[in-house]
């Protein structure tokens, strides 16, 4: 089955809103084994939208529309798509009742009620997080059309809970993918290490670069999910063997998610003392549900006086070695453990740029320390020879700190070959 996506909205076309809908839908189609051939954005213009829809219907087996199902006058998707597909709209009473219940009113405005008008004979996709229902139906030429709301908070659950099961019924095979997350090895060296494994047709192996990380995706196609999963396992085992402890997870989406899970399992708590990352490490940890049980506190100590007052960093260390130094990072990690009473403490200090660097301490020089109250490990991040943004340095420093915590919790060497390190 060949598919395409049309996302509707002038705000998407002008770049005022990032089109995350297309990415969410594309990933779901891949998981179903459906080939995505085209993806387009069309503004809120009925003529241009109808032209795009007619083209899509004529060349694809499946068209997924996102956006334009709401109550305002620029929400044109249903009317335009139905006309292009040769369908009339009819009032869906159950959807109207749901809209009335959503607003706790017996009668809603005409604009709100228009959301309940759907193509005749369609399968209605319930909106559990908003007012506009989605739908699925067949055009006159047999092309399947699915319409989904634009807000990702409504689209994603409707897609996964209703649209994907609807599409899965018509698939003869199932695709299963596993994501192997890697920290400490870049996409190019990983791809070189896996070169001989990438020629397979089923399962397949593909590398992807992430911000400061790398991802390998193993994908297999089979009549059922169990068989496809079993086909993936030998390849996953071989990848783990080659990469060792640089693999930080299978299908766990981020370092912070893994760290929070491990802290919860072990009943340990963590605290952070940050300078150049400005609280980013603490933010990434507290983004994870359940982190309140394992994250004690975070201190952003930019000024030397704050490092001394809040973390107990000795004045003479700051005088002799400076704020950006191994000694200061070590003292910050040890200080936050004492201040918080946590099992583990992280200290980060460095020069994120774009200014502030010197020949001796250039932009990108960052020290990261981890202390368990007894031992302290320090990692040094050195500039890599090309200009990187302030955001990149901060993100990668927080990721490396998370990787150090991950390694400690998993009983691995806390520091790895990717950094110059010293241990107390």
Cis geometry, peptide bond prior to residue 354 (ω within 30 degrees of 0): yes
Say if residue 26 is in the same domain as residue 95. yes
pLDDT of amino acid 386: 58
* 203: preceding bond cis by omega (within 30 degrees): yes
Residue where a domain terminates, one of 141, 168, 195: 168
Looking at the structure, do residues 224 and 349 belong to the same domain, yes or no? no
The boundaries of the domain holding residue 184 are: 174-250
The enclosing domain of 356 has a CATH number of 3.90.950.20
Q: What is the pLDDT of residue 283?
A: 98
The pLDDT score that the predictor gives to residue 418 is: 58
Helix (H) or strand (E) holding 219: strand 213-222
CATH number, domain of 178, equals 3.30.70.2860
Q: Does 109 lie in the same domain as 19? A: yes
The DSSP letter of residue 159 is I
Do 386 and 353 reside in the same domain of the chain? yes
- For 326-411, where are the alpha helices, taking DSSP H only? 326-340, 390-409
Tens place of pLDDT per residue across the chain (424 aa): 899 999 999 999 999 999 999 999 998 998 787 889 999 999 999 999 999 999 999 999 999 999 999 998 878 899 999 999 999 999 999 999 999 999 988 888 998 999 999 999 999 999 999 999 999 999 999 999 999 999 999 999 999 999 999 998 877 778 888 999 999 988 889 989 999 999 888 999 988 888 778 999 999 989 888 999 999 999 999 999 999 999 999 999 899 999 999 999 999 999 999 999 999 999 999 999 999 999 999 999 999 999 999 999 999 999 999 999 999 999 999 999 999 999 999 999 999 988 888 888 999 999 999 999 999 999 999 876 556 899 999 999 999 999 999 999 999 999 876 544 343 3
- Count of structural domains, the chain: 3
Predicted local distance difference test score (pLDDT) of residue 73: 81
pLDDT at 75: 82
pLDDT given for residue 66 in this prediction: 97
Residues 180 and 142 in one domain: no
Q: Kindly list the distances between the CA atom of residue 383 and the CA atoms of 25, 181, 359, in Å, as whole numbers in the listed order.
A: 38, 24, 11
Note whether 90 and 154 are same-domain residues: yes
pTM of structure: 0.78
Residue that terminates a domain, selected from 168, 183, 209 = 168
Nearest CA-CA partner of 350 in 386, 390, 305: 390
- Measured distance CA(308)–CA(317) in Å, rounded: 10
Residues 222 and 328 grouped into a single domain = no
Q: Are residues 291 and 415 in the same domain?
A: yes
- Report the SS3 class of residue 6: strand
336 lies in the same domain as 219: no
Residues 39 and 164 placed together within one structural domain of the fold? yes
Examine the fold and report which residue of 168, 201, 234 is the final residue of a domain before the chain moves on: 168
Same domain, residue pair 237 and 345? no
Contact between 393 and 276 (Cβ < 8 Å): yes
378-291-130-101 Cα dihedral, nearest 10 degrees: -170
Q: 164 and 69, same structural domain?
A: yes
Buried b (16+ CB within 10 A) or exposed e, 128-159: eebbbbbbbbbbeeebbbbbbbbbbebbbebb
CATH number, domain at 19?
A: 3.40.980.10
């Amino acid at each position: 089955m060949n598919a395409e996506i049309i996302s509707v909205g002038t705000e998407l076309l002008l770049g005022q809103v990032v089109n995350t809908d297309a990415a969410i839908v594309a990933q779901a189609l891949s998981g179903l084994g459906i080939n995505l051939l085209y993806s387009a954005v069309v503004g809120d213009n009925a003529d241009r939208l109808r032209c795009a829809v007619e083209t899509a219907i004529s060349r694809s087996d499946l068209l997924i529309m996102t956006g334009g199902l709401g109550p305002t006058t620029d929400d044109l998707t249903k009317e335009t798509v139905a006309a292009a597909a040769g369908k009339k709209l009819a009032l869906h009473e159950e959807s109207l009742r749901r809209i009335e219940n959503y607003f706790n009113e017996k009668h809603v405005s005409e604009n709100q009620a228009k959301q309940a008008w759907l193509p005749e004979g369609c399968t209605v996709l319930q909106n559990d997080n908003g007012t506009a229902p989605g739908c699925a139906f067949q055009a006159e030429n047999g092309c399947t059309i699915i319409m989904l709301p634009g807000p990702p908070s409504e689209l994603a659950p409707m897609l996964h809970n209703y649209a994907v099961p609807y599409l899965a019924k018509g698939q003869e095979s199932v695709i299963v993918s596993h994501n192997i997350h890697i920290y400490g090895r870049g996409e190019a060296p990983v791809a070189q290490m896996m070169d001989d494994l990438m020629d397979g047709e089923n399962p397949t192996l593909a590398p992807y670069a992430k911000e400061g990380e790398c991802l390998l995706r193993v994908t297999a196609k089979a009549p059922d999910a169990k068989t496809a999963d079993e086909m993936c396992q030998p390849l996953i085992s071989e990848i783990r063997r080659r990469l060792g402890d640089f693999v930080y997870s299978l299908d766990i989406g981020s370092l912070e998610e893994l760290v929070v899970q491990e802290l919860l399992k072990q009943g340990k708590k963590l605290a952070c003392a940050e300078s150049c990352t400005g609280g980013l490490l603490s933010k990434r940890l507290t983004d994870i549900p359940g982190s309140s049980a394992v994250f004690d506190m975070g201190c952003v100590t930019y000024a030397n006086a704050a490092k001394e007052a809040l973390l107990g960093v000795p004045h003479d260390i700051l005088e002799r070695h400076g704020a950006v130094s191994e000694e200061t990072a070590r003292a910050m990690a040890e200080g936050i453990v004492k201040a918080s009473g946590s099992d583990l403490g992280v200290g980060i200090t460095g020069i994120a740029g774009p200014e502030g660097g010197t020949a001796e301490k250039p932009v990108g020089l960052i020290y990261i320390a981890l202390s368990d109250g007894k031992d302290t490990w320090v990692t040094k991040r050195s500039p890599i020879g090309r200009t990187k943004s302030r955001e990149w340095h901060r993100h990668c420093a927080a990721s490396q700190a998370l990787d150090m915590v991950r390694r400690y919790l998993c009983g691995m060497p806390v520091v790895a070959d990717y950094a110059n390190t010293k241990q107390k």
